[in-house]
């Protein structure tokens, strides 16, 4: 994804530039300096957009006319498709499924380029609401974050629906980026996250920049949950003086390989959100003037392509290698100051998770090594060596839970669990003995003990309060009550 600006020069020199361009093709990409073609670019470079799959460029020469390189074909975007807005105003650029989409700077109107012509695909209008917003693509949809319009700054995300052919508000949550007066945003997608930085733009007054500095910050949007996370305030860059950080020039930036590049008076700036690094490369050593230069993208060989106007106002493209950039690095420091509260909150959450996992492991290990039948009273669960036991009948479960809870149970009370009101005394005794025997057999099988050498799982003795009553209790050598 790139964000580019088109030239709107409609003078004689603009059309002459088109003719000269067709006559003087650029040299093969990947060279240190590409052969320039003659063009009048006194007002800045001709806007250049890289097409999908390194298939060439689109270069705008008027409000409605563009030329495609290397074919040299000329294209026209009728005013009806643009709602008579200059082609220069369609600077939100998206590449999705090998198709180039251009969205009006304020949002709304969407143009699709099929490799030959532009076509309007939306049913929307000129929103005039998200100028200088940040476009991104996620899971087959076009998104636009933030921007300025209608006399206010924005911190919301809009999504283009291809079926409805209209834009909708995308719901987000969490630490939504703070609104700053006259702020601009720079951001990119890395994996399942959208990173963004907010800073006062070049047009803001010095007073505004000073009062809004606290809102200069970096954020991460988790695209799986659409939750914003505050990363920290931006680190002041000494080279930028009172501005705090280098200011974006020409409203132009480019992202690649998880990094965001843009031009500034201080040099070519590289923002590495994931690793929290800001780098600056000095432009004079890279053979171009940032005042009249645009970032294009990356060539197939991996070089950063930059278009610029030389001292004779001729248009050039230079291919800058990673090695060249590294040789001319003049500044490197942290990009943002990580929020201490977020840091400690993350550490505490991590420690709590580790402690919880440790406790679970200890409990599981203990249960698995436990040679007794565990009775969990509140949940009415029976566990043996980490496994839930479900072989007991309802009367058997009731007897075990009562013994675990009360500590003892009289023989008549046990008989009441399994007998009917019409049962004789002899029948009640047989049912009680059958219940005890069934429990002994099941527990013995659980402990893998034969009837001949089976332990005593239940203890029978006279009640301490009334010696005439015989009671039953659990043998705690074989049971554990929780």
Q: What pTM value is reported for the model?
A: 0.62
pLDDT bucket at 226, cuts 50 / 70 / 90: very high
End-of-domain residue from the set 316, 338, 360: 338
pLDDT of 108 over the 80 cut: yes
Q: Is residue 444, in this structure, part of any structural domain at all?
A: yes
Query: Do residue 57 and residue 172 come from a single domain?
Result: yes
pLDDT (tens digit, 9 = 90+) per residue, 88-107? 789 899 999 999 999 999 99
312 and 401 belong to one structural domain? no
Residue 363 lies in a domain: no
Gap between the Cα atoms of 237 and 335, Å rounded = 9
The side-by-side arrangement of strands in the sheet containing 73-76 is 48-50, 57-60, 65-69, 73-76
Check residue 184 and give its pLDDT: 67
User: What domain range includes position 220?
Assistant: 2-338
Of the ranges 18-22, 59-63, 277-281, the best mean pLDDT one: 277-281
- In terms of domains, do 260 and 388 share one? no
Q: What is the pairing mode between strands 304-309 and 134-138?
A: unpaired
Report yes or no on 15 lying in a domain: yes
Within a domain: residue 347? no
CATH number at residue 469: 1.10.10.10
Length of the chain in residues, anyone? 482
State the average pLDDT over residues 43-65: 74
CATH number of the domain enclosing 121: 2.120.10
Average pLDDT of the segment spanning 222-228? 97
Output the pLDDT for position 42. Answer: 54
Does residue 265 carry a pLDDT above 90? no
Q: How many CA atoms lie within 13 A of 266 on its CB side?
A: 23
Q: Are 276 and 388 found together in one domain?
A: no
Least confident of 193-207, 320-334, 372-386: 193-207
Please report, rounded to a whole number, the percentage of residues in the chain having pLDDT higher than 70: 75
Together in a domain, 129 and 263: yes
**Residue pair 132/251 in contact by the 8 Å Cβ criterion:** yes
Indicate whether 121 and 226 sit together in one domain.
Answer: yes
Q: Is residue 442 assigned to a domain?
A: yes
For residue 91, what pLDDT is reported?
A: 87
383 and 303 fall within a common domain: no
Do 238 and 245 contact (CB within 8 A), yes or no? no
Same domain, 94 and 233: yes
pLDDT at 74: 81
Summarised one tens digit per residue, pLDDT across range 120-135 is 999 999 999 998 889 9
Residue 150 lies in a domain: yes
Q: Are residues 391 and 291 in the same domain?
A: no
Helix axes 394-406, 425-446, angle to 10 degrees: 80
| Residue 192: predicted pLDDT | 94
Last residue of a domain, one of 338, 354, 384: 338
Better-scored residue on pLDDT, 298 or 76: 76
Using alpha carbons, list the distances in angstroms from residue 284 to 164, 268, 458: 48, 10, 92
Give the confidence band of 366 by pLDDT, cuts at 50, 70, 90: low
Residues 15, 137, single domain; the answer is yes
- Where are the extended beta strands (E) located within 6-126? 48-50, 57-60, 65-69, 73-76, 92-96, 99-103, 110-113, 118-120
Helix, strand, or coil (residue 164): coil
Same domain, 25 and 174: yes
Rounded-to-integer distance, Cα 432 and Cα 361, Å:
40
Is the model's pLDDT at 27 over the cut of 50? no
Q: Is residue 361 part of a domain?
A: no
pLDDT-based confidence at 112, cuts 50/70/90? very high
SS3 357: helix
Residue by residue, DSSP assigns 173-241 as EESPPPP-TTEEEEEEEETTEEEEEEEE-TTS-HHHHHHHGGG-EEEEEETTTTEEEEEEEEPPPGGGG
Q: What 3-state DSSP class applies to 24? A: coil
CA dihedral 93, 96, 99, 100 (to 10 degrees): 0
Task: Tell me how many domains the chain contains.
Answer: 2
Q: Region 355-366: what's the mean pLDDT?
A: 77
Q: Are residues 87 and 169 in the same domain?
A: yes
* 171 occurs within a structural domain: yes
């Amino acid at each position: 994804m790139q964000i580019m600006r088109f030239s709107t020069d409609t003078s004689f020199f603009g059309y002459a530039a088109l003719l000269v361009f067709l006559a003087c093709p650029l040299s093969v990409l990947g060279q240190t300096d590409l052969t320039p073609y003659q063009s009048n670019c006194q007002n800045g470079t001709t806007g250049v957009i890289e097409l999908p799959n390194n298939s060439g460029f689109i270069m705008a020469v008027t409000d409605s006319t563009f030329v495609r390189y290397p074919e040299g074909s000329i294209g026209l975007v009728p005013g009806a498709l643009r709602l008579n807005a200059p082609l220069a105003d369609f600077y939100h650029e998206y590449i999705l499924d090998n198709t180039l989409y251009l969205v009006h700077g304020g949002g709304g109107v969407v143009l699709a380029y099929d490799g030959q012509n532009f076509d309007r695909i939306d049913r929307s209008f000129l929103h005039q609401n998200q100028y200088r917003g940040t476009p991104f693509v996620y899971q087959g949809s076009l998104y636009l974050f933030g921007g300025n319009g209608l006399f206010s700054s924005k911190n919301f995300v809009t999504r283009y629906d291809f079926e409805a052919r209209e834009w909708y508000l995308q719901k987000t949550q969490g630490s939504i980026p703070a609104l700053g007066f006259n702020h601009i945003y720079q951001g990119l997608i890395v994996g399942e996250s959208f990173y963004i930085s907010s800073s006062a733009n070049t047009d803001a007054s010095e007073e505004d920049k000073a009062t809004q500095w606290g809102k200069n910050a970096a954020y991460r949007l988790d695209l799986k949950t659409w939750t914003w996370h505050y990363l920290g305030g931006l680190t002041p860059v000494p080279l930028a003086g009172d501005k705090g950080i280098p200011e974006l020039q020409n409203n132009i930036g480019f992202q690649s390989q998880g990094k965001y590049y843009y031009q500034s008076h201080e040099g070519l700036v590289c923002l590495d959100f994931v690793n929290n690094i800001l780098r600056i490369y000095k432009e004079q050593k890279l053979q171009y003037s940032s005042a009249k230069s645009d970032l294009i993208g990356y060539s197939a060989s991996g070089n950063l392509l930059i278009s610029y106007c030389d001292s004779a106002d001729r248009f050039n493209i230079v291919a800058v290698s990673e090695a060249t950039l590294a040789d001319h690095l003049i500044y490197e420091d942290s990009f943002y100051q990580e929020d201490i509260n977020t840091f400690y909150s993350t550490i505490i959450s991590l420690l709590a998770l580790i402690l919880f996992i440790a406790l679970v492991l200890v409990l599981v290990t203990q249960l698995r090594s436990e040679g007794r039948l565990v009775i969990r009273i509140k949940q009415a669960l029976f566990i043996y060596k980490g496994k839930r036991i479900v072989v007991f009948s309802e009367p058997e479960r009731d007897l075990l839970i009562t013994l675990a809870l009360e500590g003892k149970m009289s023989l008549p009370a046990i008989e009441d669990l399994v007998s009917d009101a019409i049962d004789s005394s002899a029948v009640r005794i047989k049912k009680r003995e059958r219940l005890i025997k069934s429990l002994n057999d099941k527990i013995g099988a659980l402990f893998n003990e034969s009837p001949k050498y089976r332990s005593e799982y239940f203890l029978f003795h006279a009640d301490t309060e009334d010696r005439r009553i015989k009671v039953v209790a659990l043998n705690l050598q074989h049971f554990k009550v929780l």
